[in-house]
Structure 1
Amino acid sequence: MRNHFFLGLFLAFLILGSCKKQEVNAQQNTNATANLVFINGSIYGHPTAEAIVVNQGKIEFIGSNIEAQKLIGSNTQTIDLKGKMLLPGFIDNHVHAGEGGEVSCLPSNALNIDQQKETLKKCAADVEEGKWVIGYGMHLDQVLGNGTTLNKPIQSLDKIFPKHPVIIMEQTSHAMFVNTLALNKAGIHKDMPDPQGGKFMKDENGELNGVLIDNAGDLVMEMAVNSLANKFSILVEGIKFGLQELKKNGITTIGDGRTYWRRGMLDAWKTVAKDGLLTARVSIRPWIYPTIDKTEQLTFLQGAFQNDIQQLLIVNQVKMYIDGVPENGTARLIQPYTQTYFQDTPYGINYISQNRMVSWLTDLYGIGYGAHVHALGDKGIREVLDAVQVVRSQGSQLKYHITHVAMLDKADLSRFAQLNVDADIQVGNTPLTQQERSQDFVPFIGASRASELLYSPVKSLKATGANVTLSSDWTVYPLSPLNGISVSVQEGAFTIQEAIDAYTINAAKALGLDSLTGSITVGKSADFVVLEKDLTKISANEIKTTRIMMTVLQGKVVYEVK
């Protein structure tokens, strides 16, 4: 009986010791060097772990509270997660975090020009006469209308802005709305040929109607931005705002959507980095201009190249467009549009032709640049894959991605994995089946052709072994990675683990940073996001409303909900 008593007492001590495992002893190891320790957490990818130790910005230990205790020193910051989920910091592979600072006019996306005239008039109130008004918003189809005769935005904008040149970037960024003063300042007239990668939209009488498509608008926007007296400070403030939004959304690394270096954007990013204000790792992607001398651009790119991934500002990939967007009739197609604004280009347009793309990728390979290439149309996607195939045959092992992948011909599905081309996709706000996604394209290509293609095909690409990343293309879609994760899981494209990977380790691979970040691994950078709830234990619909509680970059807390 006495033996049973001592046996019971021994077992009780064991149980008590097990319960105490969740607590870290208050005693500190004065010889330890840990800067930061997380305890009592749900650590993604490590189901038995509850603690992480960080030293000098790197992950030093992943495991139990008890073992973590041994690495706590007198100067160690200890954070009790209280059961919250700790993930690798999110990585958005396509986000325009540094753009928009120059915009001072924000019309509603839900209205056309005439429906918000008074709001637009206010945009010029504080702008000196003759100076540019720069805006962002509205949709092309709303502005033009769907009547037999399209609206003429230039007429409305001339009345609203009689003393100011105005340019308003359409919500997708693939069209600009301008008035006559803007056209005159830019030297654009109705007899000019369309620029490479762009279209001057005209009315039924051959007159300019105030809509500049794709690169035609980009050229004028560059003029407007470069005219601003306080341009550089505006760009810097725009970047600071973007960084604030990134950290609030748990994003610790980004692939820049594009950097218009001729507007001073790269210099602005460098200034922010020099001032120690970066709260995310940024892979800058200088824009390849379709109409600017190639030698000039290559000279700039050689000087801008920065391949030290230990730095927070990296410049080793470029941004290129092969085509436009189907809504404008500028995405490049294998079969002609059944409906388009431009009858003279029934297959869409190229910003950069396939042959020029090969030449560009070859020269960029010589410097060390990979490429993040915009392609929506089935022909555009094929042309990019063909160009990468050539540069791969030359020996390039650099990173190449196609972003959007909106309309994919099934014959090209397996080529992403075969050519080691990453697919970067934005799933939008609403879970949709492939059939539902196809309906958006029926007006442009017809029901028959629409039934033959794949649309932002996350699941199909993943099945081939391709590396698939999710991104926001913010401000086109919400910035929150939780939105993309939720939508992709709800529509059955990804499991929750696959969706998280698409916003972490997969994106790190696409950026060439997987040795540094993207997973919770000893030796990697301590880049984390702490969530209110464990994403693996809630419904897919709940994911998008889960709160970001903390964001950590290189072992430093850059955002925290108090």
Structure 2
Amino acid sequence: MKINKHSVDPIGAKILRTPQKVASGVVLGSLSEMVLEEALRTHDLDMNNVLDRFEILALDLQKSGITSIGESGGFWNHGGLQFWQKVAQDYNLGFRVSVRPRLSPFKGVNDQLVQLTSMYRNDLNDLFLLNQVKINVDGQYRLGTARLTQPYDKATVPSEPNGLFYFTPTELNTWLTRLEEVNFGAYIHAEGDAAVEAALYSIQNARRKSDDQRFTITGMQFIKPVQYPLFSEMGVTVNFLFNAVRHADLAHDQLNHAKVVSVKSLEHFSTSVALSSGGFGDHYAPPLKRIAENLQQPTKYRVKDIHKAIEAYTIEPAKSLGIESVTGSLVIGKSADLVFIDKDLTQLSAEQIAKSTVLLTMLQGGITYQHEKALPMTSGSNSMF
């Protein structure tokens, strides 16, 4: 792959250039994916190494009381899918996982749909599901690539002063409509208010054909206030990582302050809000810590109370994953996915919640993690969610 001053920006990508039109070496969007794919073609996935790391990850999740996760954006064309298939087949998975392959704007819609259809898994009694995709509509606000309805004060890409669309509104609309044909939902990254608007209107069009698709918007930092009611009207979950929004609020001089997304406003319109623990890297934090952090935020960014916070880590994520019929709440007939904690969270301060200990994690009635303090267990002394 060669890039020079005559290279044309691929679909869903931008090549950053100097004022003299010379490529700077920085690429954005789908082009970075192309570069990575080129590199991965000469480096086979070391399955043993990945499995060793997976065992560490699985234990961390179970210690945190996590029984279900959504894995979004993995390298499904370069061993990512094979990894999850092998784990599900040959190992004790230890938690429920919904794998969401990331769509590529530069690859054909039909070709990707054929691949997705061949991978489809929707048995809710299984621990490995594959019935949603990940779509990155825009970039990141902190990098100047989230798509806004008005220009940045200082544009990262001079030719795109409002930020980038990795999937244009037309492309996104096509994708959500076509995904319905193969029974796939979508986990949609949209940070800027223009990207959120495009996502909501595309979902609105998709809903005219079907109410069954699951849609989640994640990463949202800005929104036009008039659009708050649309989430509940169309059954869209918002995956909310409040740290990102706080950053946006600090820089709100570039946008009307009213456009910074508000958890309080989302809840006012009965939106399904799921709190996020982040990815499995620097930004990951266990649910108890995230709950405590959220409850200490200004009113605009925090959920209403501890009961809503617990729901934001149980039934609401289950709705996002499309598994609320089997988990997410204590209902007869659902899977026994339980977490026992050493104290009653509803009686604790936020600081005390962060210091609470997960004693026992259960998945489908089986114990996946047991703290030494849990021996012996005494009924009535622990809380669960």
TM above 0.5, yes or no, is: yes
Give a deviation string over 1:80-131, Cα, whole Å, max 9, x none: xxxxxxxxxxxxxxxxxxxxxxxxxxxxxxxxxxxxxxxxxxxxxxxxxxxx
Q: Does the 8 A contact of 1:428 with 1:484 survive in 2?
A: no
SS at match of 1:210: strand
1:304-334: CA deviations, max 9, x gaps?
A: 1111110000111111111111122211111
Pick one of 283, 289, 292 that aligns with 1:486.
292
1:437 Cα deviation after fit = 4.9
CA contact (8 A) 2:72 2:101 kept: no
Kept after mapping to 2: 8 A contact 1:428/1:487:
no
- In structure 2, runs of 5+ residues without a counterpart are 373-385
1:372: how far off? 0.6
Instruction: Please list the CA deviations of residues 472-493 of structure 1 after superposition, one character each: whole Å capped at 9, or x if unmatched.
Output: 2222522311122112212242
Contact persistence 1:404–1:425 (CA under 8 A)? yes
CA RMSD of aligned residues (A): 2.0
Shift of 1:359: 1.2
Query: Which of these residues, 258, 261, 265, is aligned with residue 460 of structure 1?
Result: 265
Q: Distance between the aligned counterparts of 1:247 and 1:548, measured in 2?
A: 9
Match of 2:149 in 1: 334
Report the secondary structure of 2:40's partner residue: helix
Runs of 4+ with deviation above 4 angstroms? none
Does the alignment pair 1:518 with 2:328? yes
Higher relative contact order (CA 8 A, sep 6+): 1
Q: Please say which of residues 530-539 and 380-389 is displaced more in the overlay.
A: 530-539
Letter in 1 for 2:249: S
Change beyond 3 A, Cα 1:266–1:440 = same
CA distance 1:462–1:224, change in 2 (3 Å) = same
Superposition pairs of residues 409-420 of structure 1, within 5 angstroms: 409-420=224-235
Report the equivalent of 1:536. 346
The whole-number CA distance in structure 2 between the counterparts of 1:454 and 1:297 is 34
**Counterpart residue type for residue 459 of structure 1:** K
User: What displacement does 1:369 show?
Assistant: 0.5
Question: Retained in 2: the 8 A contact 1:468–1:502?
Answer: yes
- Contact map agreement 2:138 2:165 (CA 8 A) in 1: yes
Give 1:348's aligned residue. Answer: 163
Q: TM-score, normalization: structure 2?
A: 0.89
Q: Structure 2 vs 1, CA of residues 547 and 363 (structure 1 numbering), >3 Å: closer, same or farther?
A: same
1:230–1:511 distance in 2 versus 1, CA, 3 Å: closer
Which residues in structure 2 correspond to 1:493-508 (within 5 Å)? Answer: 493-494=302-303, 495-508=305-318
- The one-letter code sitting in structure 2 at the alignment partner of 1:451 is H
Report the Cα distance in structure 1 between the residues aligned to 2:59 and 2:243, rounded to whole angstroms.
22
Q: Deviations over 1:420-445 (max 9, x none)?
A: 1111111239x96xxx8522343xx2
Matched, 1:471 2:276: yes
Corresponding residue for 1:317? 132
Q: Secondary structure at the match of 1:408?
A: coil
**Residue type matched to 2:319 in 1?**
K
Identical aligned residues as a percent: 32
Distance in 2, Cα, partners of 1:213 & 1:543: 40
Q: Deviations over 1:253-308 (max 9, x none)?
A: 01122232111201110100001321110011111111112221111011111111
Q: Which residue of 1 aligns with 2:212?
A: 397
1:52-97 Cα offsets, whole Å, 9 max, x none, are xxxxxxxxxxxxxxxxxxxxxxxxxxxxxxxxxxxxxxxxxxxxxx
Query: Which of 239, 246, 251 is the matching residue for 1:440?
Result: 251
Is 1:275 equivalent to 2:90 in the alignment?
Answer: yes
Q: What's the CA shift for 1:238?
A: 4.2
Query: Which consecutive unaligned segments of at least 5 residues does structure 1 have?
Result: 1-185
Q: 2:185 aligns with which of 367, 370, 374?
A: 370
Aligned to 1:358: 173
**Secondary structure in 2 matching 1:422:** strand
Partner AA of 1:468 in structure 2: V
> What is the distance in 2 between the residues matched to 1:227 and 1:245?
31
1:37-62: per-residue Cα shift (whole Å, max 9, x none)?
Answer: xxxxxxxxxxxxxxxxxxxxxxxxxx
- 8 Å contact from structure 1 (residues 213, 328) kept in 2: no
Whose Rg is larger? 1
1:21 alignment counterpart: none
The amino acid across from 1:439 in the alignment is: L
CA offsets 1:349-373 (integer angstroms, 9 cap, x no match): 1111111111111111011001110
Aligned residue for 1:251, secondary structure, equals coil
Question: Superposed, which structure 2 residues align to 1:29-48 within 5 Å?
Answer: none
Deviation at 1:248, TM superposition (A): 2.0
Distance 1:527 1:190 in 2: 56
What secondary structure is seen at the aligned counterpart in 2 of 1:262?
coil
Task: Please state if 1:251 is matched with 2:66.
Answer: yes
Match of 1:559 in 2: 369
Matches within 5 A, 1:74-93: none
CA contact (8 A) 2:139 2:145 kept: yes
Partner of 1:299: 114
Deviates more, 1:258-267 or 1:472-481: 472-481
Q: Would the aligned equivalents of 1:196 and 1:350 in 2 still touch at CA under 8 Å?
A: no
- Distance in structure 2 (CA, Å) of the matches to 1:241 and 1:265: 17
The 8 Å contact of residues 370 and 400 in structure 1, kept in 2 or not, is answered as yes
What is the distance in 1 between the residues matched to 2:277 and 2:351?
Answer: 18
